[in-house]
Structure 1
């Protein structure tokens, strides 16, 4: 087997994490294969903050609309508007967005391979990635030095190679893409109500000529499709044409370990990098792919496989605190309709609105405004104790 037959890195999964990792490594001059099975679209509201657009060169033509308002809707149907002063959140359609990222990776030099990942083995110092090409049951093999597993929440790479990868908590999401009754809608609607989701939320997100109507829940047996049908009926979206429906699990906690200390590192949903409470994952997937690529580049340069651990270390240093705070928020405020009612009421507070958008738009937990943060903390406690 000649050196020309080996890849430096095989990336399994062509979503935002995998495509970004493949592009970054290819631009760095590495020989990269991007293995992805064709035709899968993840159910996703499609929101990307300004920092993602800046950091990952997302072209404006991919933005189906620019949202400048989120409306939070309580169990008793109280509506709280949270305007974005001087900014916007971009909304993308994952069908188009993910393919753009894969094409960009290929244009940067990555080799696209269409097929379904099967397993990993080792032979003569090489790591072998086995997969079945599209419309075939016969396995083929890619030889490589390193593997990035970016194959989603139920990552087969992770479950084979990373202890504990099968234990990450999940929310199951389902949405329908429907024709929008009026273009240029710039408002997201988020419904906090136990009948629509006993432990998460439901949403209506604009995508220009279409919209995403969806719901998430970790409760087994809860009818996601039924909840979406109820939401569509309630919002007069029921008669609109359904373009497609999609469902998938979404992880809500980063894994304690992302690498096997040898030749595999995870990224994106496979690593559990979806924000609790909000379910936001696109920015964190893009970032996770970049950090995995950087870790692999360090291993290829130095030969030190311990560098694979840098991906998680760097991610948690910058975003671990936000994930912890959001995890507490979901635990306490999504537990009952009474708590959800308090949560939506809290969103009326100007301090809450300002700090929420500041952290979301810039992907940094605000280090300033300490007084405002303390006011929010005591207000939250008052709501939890039914004092407000």
Structure 2
């Protein structure tokens, strides 16, 4: 037999899964509703993703080596990456996603421009799943109704995943990201040549942060907040526009975007022979809100598990086989999610604790550990004296923040 896998969604997650499967000779179908889709996203990727996923330099708009943290009282802390060959990559999602999708197709995945609207679940462990979809390949928005049978399904279709709903994967809390792409005059854009900014404060987000990230010929200015505060999102966006106003003078809004972002994993990420990855699974991190790398990584690990347990497509993997991907994922990254969750709960709960957070970011050892962890997704232990210093600094900042909190 030849294993058939349908991957629904062709962002970094879906495309990474499809590429891995196609390389192994597995019959792979990659669904995408809108081929020119531009997901609202800050677009930051860590340096390790560039090499790990073999991304070409031309898809990276800016190489950020300077990060400015701005506290609620507008105290600024500059964080610089010292090594010339290190940077945070800034991408437009339509460029990044398009490249990864096309590469998967060139390696053998069958790309289907279609909208999935129903998934039939088989009643046993051997019959295929049936995907019902509207084929838009003729340019018709309504599409032509078609079906496809697959032995395994990967849901990489985002926070509003239809695959997750079809398998009753359960709901999760989510945040709303709102972003404006603003084209600013060249002399102001020069300031953002290799610099990004992060703002914290109740005026820009009661539970997250706001950002100004540089892109190819514009800046992305946005904010995020939990679903419970979604009615405030436009006021919060006005807050970041006001805080960054002097650097946006003469700017022209060229696009307005909004999108839900998961805040924790779904209760069920594997059911039967269906696996969820990326935003559909809930792999966005707390505190930093990072999603692109972890989406692509989770999908690759899922696909690698399918290749392994199916003997490169010679047999049909079971639910237990697919759950092996989750065990590996949770073992590798579970602690990262827990630590970032704690950081968000501790430092984002009031303006006083946000002031303490920005103060802590001024410490060079904190900066080095933070960037090493972000850029390479590995935690390099500090020597005991530095670790003690960082711990004392954190406790001191927290005590001051708590003392100042209302």
What is the TM-score of this pair, normalised by structure 2? 0.89
Which residue of structure 1 aligns with residue 38 of structure 2? Answer: 41
Q: CA deviation at 1:224?
A: 2.2
- Which ranges of structure 1 fall in alignment gaps of 5 or more residues? none
Which residue of structure 1 aligns with residue 324 of structure 2? Answer: 310
Which residue of structure 2 aligns with residue 179 of structure 1? Answer: 183
Instruction: Give yes or no for the alignment of 1:265 onto 2:275.
Output: yes
Q: Is the 8 A contact 2:273 2:317 kept in 1?
A: no
Relative distance call for 1:253 and 1:365 in structure 2 (3 A) is farther
Q: CA deviation at 1:195?
A: 0.7
Q: Distance in 2 between matches of 1:117 and 1:266?
A: 15
Which residue of structure 2 aligns with residue 240 of structure 1? Answer: 251
Q: What RMSD over aligned residues (CA atoms) do the two structures have, in Å? A: 2.0
Q: Distance in 2 between matches of 1:352 and 1:84?
A: 12
Instruction: Give yes or no for the alignment of 1:19 onto 2:15.
Output: yes
Instruction: Give runs of aligned pairs for residues 20-99 of structure 1, distance below 5 A.
Output: 20-38=16-34, 39-86=36-83, 87-99=86-98
Q: Is the 8 A contact 1:229 1:238 kept in 2?
A: no
Q: CA deviation at 1:108?
A: 0.6
- Which ranges of structure 2 fall in alignment gaps of 5 or more residues? none
Q: Is the 8 A contact 1:319 1:364 kept in 2?
A: no
Equivalent of residue 146 in structure 1, options 106, 131, 152: 152
Instruction: Give runs of aligned pairs for residues 218-257 of structure 1, distance below 5 A.
Output: 218=226, 219-236=228-245, 237=248, 239-257=250-268
Relative distance call for 1:238 and 1:259 in structure 2 (3 A) is farther
Q: CA deviation at 1:314?
A: 1.6
The residue matched to 1:152 in structure 2 has which SS? coil
Which residue of structure 1 aligns with residue 357 of structure 2? Answer: 343
Instruction: Give runs of aligned pairs for residues 272-311 of structure 1, distance below 5 A.
Output: 272-301=282-311, 303-305=316-318, 306-311=320-325
Q: Is the 8 A contact 1:322 1:365 kept in 2?
A: no
The residue matched to 2:55 in structure 1 has which SS? coil
The residue matched to 2:39 in structure 1 has which SS? coil
Q: Is the 8 A contact 1:170 1:250 kept in 2?
A: yes
Instruction: Give runs of aligned pairs for residues 151-166 of structure 1, distance below 5 A.
Output: 151-164=157-170, 166=171
Instruction: Give yes or no for the alignment of 1:381 onto 2:395.
Output: yes
Instruction: Give yes or no for the alignment of 1:204 onto 2:212.
Output: yes
Instruction: Give yes or no for the alignment of 1:357 onto 2:371.
Output: yes
Q: CA deviation at 1:179?
A: 1.3
Relative distance call for 1:117 and 1:370 in structure 2 (3 A) is farther
Q: Distance in 2 between matches of 1:320 and 1:377?
A: 22
Relative distance call for 1:370 and 1:125 in structure 2 (3 A) is farther
Equivalent of residue 128 in structure 1, options 127, 130, 138: 130
Relative distance call for 1:373 and 1:322 in structure 2 (3 A) is farther
Which residue of structure 2 aligns with residue 8 of structure 1? Answer: 4
Q: Is the 8 A contact 1:180 1:208 kept in 2?
A: no
Q: Distance in 1 between matches of 2:146 and 2:3?
A: 15
Q: CA deviation at 1:73?
A: 0.3
Aligned residues: 381
Q: Distance in 1 between matches of 2:304 and 2:230?
A: 41
Q: Distance in 1 between matches of 2:106 and 2:59?
A: 18
The residue matched to 1:40 in structure 2 has which SS? coil
The residue matched to 2:310 in structure 1 has which SS? helix
Q: Is the 8 A contact 1:321 1:365 kept in 2?
A: no
Relative distance call for 1:299 and 1:127 in structure 2 (3 A) is farther
Q: Is the 8 A contact 1:74 1:192 kept in 2?
A: yes
Relative distance call for 1:296 and 1:85 in structure 2 (3 A) is same
Q: Which runs of 4+ in 1 moved over 4 A?
A: none
